[in-house]
């Protein structure tokens, strides 16, 4: 077979020509390759990447804790289903017991003087009008002097009226006997009228002096002769218990100096602070139940007497005042308490054990049991608490199982996992 000698030379010329032009075409080739490869890589990474928040294969989803059976039994983790019950929508609020100010007397000194006798001590039961102390004061001396002077003036005017009346009667007889002129008879009548007016003025002065004594707690019956009763009694204006005593014998006082605090403890106030979002559930006249740590399991019934008209700008809470009867005296002022407030009419609601509720990152949550020993954190909104069961208003359905005991361990495990992920 014959070979054309011109073929090698032609191939060689073609390669030589392309080799000479290669440096000039190389950038174009590289650019074309890059335009093909880069989109291909982006597409592959797009379809191969995991969505944000998707756990790696074998890892638990965010907000989920998995506990095996052995650890669960060791930690005492118990699971209980959320129940549906029928009861009133109530909620608890922290409160402090306080004196009923309408049944409390803060007694101060009326005049300047010195305490000469103290007749009551803290804890004494004082009836209305009981003398708690006695003061010596120049004011009472002046008041007695004015009273005695007014009484003396009244007696003098009574004598003058009696003399003027007798004179007028005598003038009447003389006029009938033609022994006295009409003018003299009229003068006698005028003197009688003037004497009666002066007696009325004297009686008014006596009454004024008596009122001045009564203002000091003294009456003219206490000292009909004016020889005794020179001290000012400090009396209780109501029946109650002496809670505070601020003076002793010999204490110098001025008007307004605090002396005693007396209060009727048969009724107390419970001052509760509620969130402004709870206002629709609270109103004057609605019932309230008070619980204190001193008597666990015992409720003291009361009634909402007042709902604050302003929100505290610092706490964003509103003060609610409840009136709580205390006939046996078991409740004491300044006790810490919890007040149950809310609706009266029962209604269906979902409840969980109080031990299932935890606070995490400033939010209220429960741990819902899942398959294979996993527990999912679930944010919930709560209502009131009654007999150890808390109302769940949002975030949980009836029948869903939650960790009723040992939920704090689940919270710790979740926090531990969050710290590990951040590191």
Domain boundary among 342, 362, 383: 342
257 and 391 inside one domain: no
Higher-scoring residue by pLDDT: 30, 81: 81
What pLDDT does residue 262 have?
97
What pLDDT does residue 37 have?
64
d(CA 346, CA 147): 68
- Is the pLDDT assigned to residue 290 strictly greater than 80? yes
Number of domains in the chain: 4
117 and 244 inside one domain: yes
Domain boundary among 279, 310, 342: 342
Cα of 397 vs its chain's centroid, Å: 33
- Please check whether residue 334 lies inside any domain of the structure: yes
Q: What is the pLDDT of residues 178-187, one digit of tens each?
A: 888 889 989 9
Average of per-residue pLDDT values in the chain: 83
Domain boundary among 310, 342, 374: 342
Q: What is the pLDDT of residues 135-176, one digit of tens each?
A: 988 888 888 889 889 999 999 999 999 999 999 999 989 888
208 and 161 inside one domain: yes
316 and 336 inside one domain: yes
Closest CA to 355 of 406, 400, 399: 406
Taking residues 322-346, what's their average pLDDT? Answer: 89
DSSP label of 298: -
Angle (nearest 5°) at CA 91 between 85 and 96: 145
What pLDDT does residue 57 have?
47
What pLDDT does residue 215 have?
83
Q: What is the pLDDT of residues 200-247, one digit of tens each?
A: 999 999 999 888 888 887 776 655 555 456 788 899 999 999 999 999
- Please check whether residue 251 lies inside any domain of the structure: yes
Range of the domain at 417: 64-87+347-421
Q: What is the pLDDT of residues 367-388, one digit of tens each?
A: 998 887 788 899 998 877 777 8
d(CA 369, CA 69): 13
Scan for tokens 């174009």, then name that residue: 28
Model pTM?
0.56
d(CA 365, CA 373): 18
Beta strands in 264-310, from DSSP E residues, in sequence order = 267-275, 287-292, 300-307
143 and 212 inside one domain: yes
Pairing state of beta strands 83-99 and 336-353?
antiparallel
336 and 211 inside one domain: no
The H or E element that residue 77 is part of is: none
Dihedral pair phi/psi, residue 342, rounded to 5°: 140, -155
149 and 196 inside one domain: yes
Higher-scoring residue by pLDDT: 55, 22: 22
């Amino acid at each position: 077979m014959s070979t054309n000698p011109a073929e090698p030379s032609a191939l060689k010329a073609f390669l030589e020509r392309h080799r000479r032009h290669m440096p000039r075409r190389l950038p174009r080739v590289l650019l074309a390759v890059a335009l093909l490869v880069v989109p291909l890589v982006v597409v592959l990474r797009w379809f191969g990447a995991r969505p944000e928040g998707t756990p790696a294969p074998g890892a638990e989803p965010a907000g989920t804790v998995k506990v095996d059976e052995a650890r669960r039994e060791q930690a005492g983790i118990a699971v209980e289903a959320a129940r549906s019950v029928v009861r009133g929508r109530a909620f608890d609020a922290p409160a402090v017991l306080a004196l009923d100010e309408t049944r409390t007397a803060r007694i101060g000194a009326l005049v300047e003087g010195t305490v000469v006798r103290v007749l009551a001590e803290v804890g004494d039961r004082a009836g209305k009008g009981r003398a708690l102390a006695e003061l010596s004061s120049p004011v009472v001396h002046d008041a007695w002097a004015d009273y005695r002077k007014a009484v003396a003036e009244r007696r003098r005017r009574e004598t003058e009226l009696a003399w003027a009346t007798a004179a007028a009667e005598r003038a009447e007889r003389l006029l009938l006997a033609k022994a006295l002129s009409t003018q003299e008879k009229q003068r006698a009548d005028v003197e009688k009228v003037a004497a009666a007016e002066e007696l009325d003025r004297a009686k008014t002065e006596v009454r004024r002096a008596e009122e001045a004594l009564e203002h000091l707690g003294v009456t003219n019956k206490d000292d009909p002769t004016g020889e005794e009763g020179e001290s000012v009694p400090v009396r209780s204006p109501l029946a109650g218990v002496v809670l505070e005593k601020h003076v002793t014998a010999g204490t110098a006082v001025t008007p307004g100096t605090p002396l005693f605090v007396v209060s009727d403890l048969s009724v107390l106030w419970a001052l509760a602070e509620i969130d402004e979002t709870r206002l629709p559930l609270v109103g004057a006249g609605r019932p309230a139940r008070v619980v204190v740590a001193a008597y666990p399991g015992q409720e003291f019934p009361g009634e909402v007497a007042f709902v604050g008209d302003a929100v505290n700008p610092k706490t964003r809470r509103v003060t609610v005042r409840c009136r709580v009867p205390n006939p046996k005296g078991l409740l004491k002022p300044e006790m810490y308490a919890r007040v149950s407030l809310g609706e009266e009419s029962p209604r269906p609601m979902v409840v969980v054990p109080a031990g299932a509720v935890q606070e995490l990152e400033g939010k209220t949550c429960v741990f819902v049991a899942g398959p294979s020993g996993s527990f999912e954190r679930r944010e919930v909104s709560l209502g009131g608490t009654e007999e150890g069961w808390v109302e769940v208003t949002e975030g949980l359905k009836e029948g869903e199982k939650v960790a009723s005991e040992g939920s704090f361990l689940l919270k710790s495990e979740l926090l531990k996992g969050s710290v590990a992920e951040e590191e």
